[in-house]
């Protein structure tokens, strides 16, 4: 089943109207190649495909020899480089191509921030448009499911996540098997190769600990003690996990008020199916004790997807004081603060007094099962 992705239209527009290339970042299995093929089909141009997982054409494309590169690309109107992070110094190669072949449309995908493999950002500054492809969003699902259907399928998204392929499986066994395969075979592939990680079991153990702590502030020191690793090593591993689009961090919000907590980040997962398979827990919500944390992770992630799809420029945080007052999510947009509290039932709560007093011009809203679709669909 093909799910139309929100990025299709803006990428086509950029490739049509601009001479810059387009890079699509995202985790493995998130649908980057399928999206790229759909875009290529819509352009209907003669396209050269180079896959970083295969050796074909790699020597020529990395030669830095313009004559060789031109001989390879001659006659083609479009270049698609898939899994580009696996091609040595791909940033320099793409710079040569974009600078010397301005009529060529260039589309690139990478399953991790490409600076894990090469310094792509510096040579390509001002030469590319960059996009992040997330697991399937509720906004994308709303193209063929109405709100009642989205609500009915909510629990499945909280348990099995939203990787595109998960929607093609009917049985729970098939879904578990798929998530296990991703977790075992794909999740750490680029991390281990490009992140100079000698012991993959440490990464898995770290991810498992982070999976148990979603929605809580994470202490690098405590994680290091549990894993027999230094605080600096834990910090580096978390940074690599974030660059590989497995987790994302939320920092504490503060306007330098002494009572506000900002030292530790919260960590969330880009896909709840991955999170749940890491701790081997795919039980229904009624049998779980972490449903509130799943709800929080889900809402944050879907809000991020929504803002990205709408091209909203916002900054996100959590807020907590030393006295215990807190907000699950704070969004800053155009100088205005929006505070949100997430409730997994239908309960409505008022904004914390400390928040309203410190930021009287801010907005506040409680997001629950009755209004969450407005929060993540607009």
HEC string for 152-200: HCHHHHHHHCCCHHHHHCCCHHHHHHHHHHHHHHHCCHHHHHHCCCCCH
> Can you give the pLDDT at residue 263?
82
**188-221 tens-digit pLDDT:** 777 777 667 777 788 889 999 999 999 999 999 9
Q: Is it true that 8-132 and 195-378 share their CATH fold?
A: no
Query: Treating both helix axes as pointing N-terminal to C-terminal, what angle do 231-243 and 200-212 enclose, rounded to 10 degrees?
Result: 80
Torsion angles phi and psi, residue 198, rounded to 5: -85, -25
* Local structure of 348: helix, strand or coil: coil
> Can you give the pLDDT at residue 255?
82
DSSP codes joined into one string, 14-37: HHHH-SSEEEEE--TTSSHHHHHH
Per the prediction, the chain carries an average pLDDT of 91
Band (333; pLDDT cuts 50, 70, 90): very high
User: Using an 8 Å Cβ cutoff, are 11 and 132 in contact?
Assistant: no
* In the chain, % of residues over pLDDT 90: 75
User: Using an 8 Å Cβ cutoff, are 197 and 237 in contact?
Assistant: yes
* Local structure of 247: helix, strand or coil: strand
> Can you give the pLDDT at residue 254?
86
Report the alpha-carbon distance of residue 313 to residue 307 in Å, rounded.
Answer: 7
> Can you give the pLDDT at residue 186?
75
Q: Which fold has domain 195-378?
A: Arc Repressor Mutant, subunit A (1.10.10)
**245-271 tens-digit pLDDT:** 999 999 999 886 777 777 899 999 999
Report the alpha-carbon distance of residue 163 to residue 247 in Å, rounded.
Answer: 14
> Can you give the pLDDT at residue 269?
97
> Can you give the pLDDT at residue 369?
95
**Chain-centre distance of CA 143, in angstroms?**
21
CATH architecture of 8-132: 3-Layer(aba) Sandwich (3.40)
User: Looking at residues 121-132, what average pLDDT do you find?
Assistant: 85
Report the alpha-carbon distance of residue 125 to residue 92 in Å, rounded.
Answer: 11
Edge-to-edge strand list for the sheet holding 326-333: 266-269, 247-252, 315-320, 326-333, 336-342, 363-367
**11-44 tens-digit pLDDT:** 999 999 999 999 999 988 999 999 999 999 999 9
Torsion angles phi and psi, residue 100, rounded to 5: -110, -15
> Can you give the pLDDT at residue 31?
94
> Can you give the pLDDT at residue 120?
62
β-partners of residue 42 are none
User: Using an 8 Å Cβ cutoff, are 276 and 244 in contact?
Assistant: no
Task: Out of 32-36, 154-158, 207-211, 351-355, pick the least confident.
Answer: 351-355
Report the alpha-carbon distance of residue 57 to residue 76 in Å, rounded.
Answer: 14
* In the chain, % of residues over pLDDT 70: 94
Q: Is the pLDDT of residue 226 over 70?
A: yes
User: Structure tokens of 135?
Assistant: 């697991």
Tell me the domain boundaries of the chain: 8-132, 195-378
Q: Are strands 363-367 and 336-342 parallel, antiparallel or unpaired?
A: parallel
> Can you give the pLDDT at residue 87?
87
> Can you give the pLDDT at residue 304?
97
**Chain-centre distance of CA 271, in angstroms?**
8
> Can you give the pLDDT at residue 146?
96
> Can you give the pLDDT at residue 113?
65
Report the alpha-carbon distance of residue 217 to residue 236 in Å, rounded.
Answer: 17
**67-118 tens-digit pLDDT:** 999 999 999 999 999 988 888 888 899 999 999 999 999 999 988 765 555 5
Edge-to-edge strand list for the sheet holding 105-110: 47-51, 78-82, 105-110, 21-25, 128-132
**230-245 tens-digit pLDDT:** 999 999 999 989 988 9
Give the single-character DSSP code of 374.
H
User: Using an 8 Å Cβ cutoff, are 104 and 73 in contact?
Assistant: yes
Q: Where are the beta strands (DSSP E) in 167-294?
A: 247-252, 266-269
């Amino acid at each position: 089943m093909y799910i139309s992705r929100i990025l299709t239209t803006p990428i086509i527009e950029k490739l049509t109207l601009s001479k810059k290339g387009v890079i699509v970042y995202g985790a493995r299995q998130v649908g980057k190649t399928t999206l790229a093929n759909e875009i290529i089909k819509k352009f209907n141009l003669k396209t050269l495909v180079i896959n970083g997982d295969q050796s074909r054409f790699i020597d020529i494309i990395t030669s830095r020899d313009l004559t060789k590169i031109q001989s390879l690309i001659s006659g083609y109107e479009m270049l698609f480089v898939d899994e580009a992070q696996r091609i040595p110094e791909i940033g320099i190669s793409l710079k040569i191509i974009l600078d010397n072949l301005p009529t060529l449309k260039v589309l690139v995908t990478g399953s991790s921030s490409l600076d894990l493999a090469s310094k792509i950002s510096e040579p390509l500054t001002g030469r590319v448009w960059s996009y992040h492809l997330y697991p399937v969003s509720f906004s994308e699902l709303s193209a063929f499911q109405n709100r009642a259907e989205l609500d009915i399928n909510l629990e499945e998204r909280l348990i099995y996540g939203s990787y595109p392929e998960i929607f093609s499986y009917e049985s729970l066994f098939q879904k578990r098997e798929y998530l296990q395969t991703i977790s075992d075979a794909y999740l750490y592939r680029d991390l281990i190769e490009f992140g100079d990680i000698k012991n993959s079991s440490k990464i898995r153990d770290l991810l498992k600990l982070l999976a148990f702590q979603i929605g809580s502030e994470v202490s690098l020191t405590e994680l290091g003690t549990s894993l027999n690793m230094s605080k600096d090593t834990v910090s580096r591993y978390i940074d690599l996990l974030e660059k590989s689009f497995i987790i994302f961090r939320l920092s504490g919000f503060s306007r330098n008020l002494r009572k506000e907590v900002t030292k530790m980040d919260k960590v969330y997962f880009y896909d709840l199916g991955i999170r749940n398979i890491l701790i081997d827990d795919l039980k229904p919500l009624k049998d779980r004790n972490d449903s509130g944390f799943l709800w929080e992770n889900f809402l944050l992630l879907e809000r991020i997807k929504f803002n990205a799809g709408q091209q909203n420029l916002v900054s996100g945080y959590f807020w907590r004081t030393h006295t215990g007052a807190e907000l699950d999510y704070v969004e800053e947009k155009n100088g205005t603060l929006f505070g949100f509290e997430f409730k997994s039932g239908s309960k409505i709560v008022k904004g914390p007094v400390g928040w309203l007093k410190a930021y009287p011009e801010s907005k506040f809203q409680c997001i629950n099962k009755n209004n969450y679709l407005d929060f993540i669909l607009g």
